[in-house]
Amino acid sequence: GDPQFAAELTQMLVRIDHQDWDARHLKAASLRQRGYQEINTIARAWYLNGANELDGKLNPAMLANRGLQNIQGQLSGAELLESWRYQVDPEKAGDTGMVVGFEFTDSGDAYTVELRNSILEITPGPVAADVPVVRISAAQLREAMEGKPLPPGAGATGELQNLLAYLDLSPPEIFMHLR
């Protein structure tokens, strides 16, 4: 038969019910057969990894988390703040307005982070005197994002926790074939 066509047909069953293991195994077998026919190594890996994902042998979310942790571990404080712009949860933030200053002890950089109508604006430069300030290193900010407590004397830690509550810090689930 035609493994490509079989994979396309079984995809409809998998989309209807992700827990239909018969459909998942059938699609995995189709992808595996198609992968073994492929001479292009990238396409072959796509089909064979898809088969493993459908069979439950490969967890793409775990791999993505591992890669994300590796990348975040190398980001500076400024880069972490910039990444927050894309993580604001509009349902949680709503029309909330708040301003928090950040002074990074490891780099000496300072930023003002303003949340307004579910939009986060990051402004580099000295923090205004009337703005609550958090004084931490980039590593301590990563720890705070993981829910760990900040050291004493870090400044406006309550405001930081309030701001973090408006962010969706959960890693996205990435599935190639199980959609």
The 3-state DSSP class for residue 111 equals strand
Tell me which architecture the domain covering 76-165 has in CATH: 2-Layer Sandwich (3.30)
135 near 150, Cβ under 8 Å?
no
Specify the long-range contacts of residues 26-31, CB closer than 8 Å, at least 24 apart.
27/51, 27/54, 27/177, 28/52, 28/54, 28/55, 30/3, 30/4, 30/6, 31/3, 31/7, 31/177
Q: Where are the domains of the chain?
A: 3-58, 76-165
Ranges assigned E (strand) in 7-132: 97-104, 110-116, 119-124
Check whether domain 3-58 has CATH 1.25.40.880, yes or no: yes
The pLDDT tens digits along the chain (179 residues) read 899 999 999 999 999 998 999 999 999 999 999 999 999 999 999 999 999 999 989 877 777 666 566 566 678 888 888 888 888 888 888 888 889 999 998 888 999 999 988 888 999 999 888 999 889 888 888 888 888 888 888 888 788 888 888 888 776 666 777 76
Average pLDDT, the chain: 86
Q: Where are the beta strands (DSSP E) in the chain?
A: 97-104, 110-116, 119-124, 133-136
Q: Which residue is associated with the tokens 């190639």? A: 176
Enter the tokens of residue 42.
Answer: 């990238």
Quote the pLDDT of residue 67.
59
pTM over the 0.85 mark: no
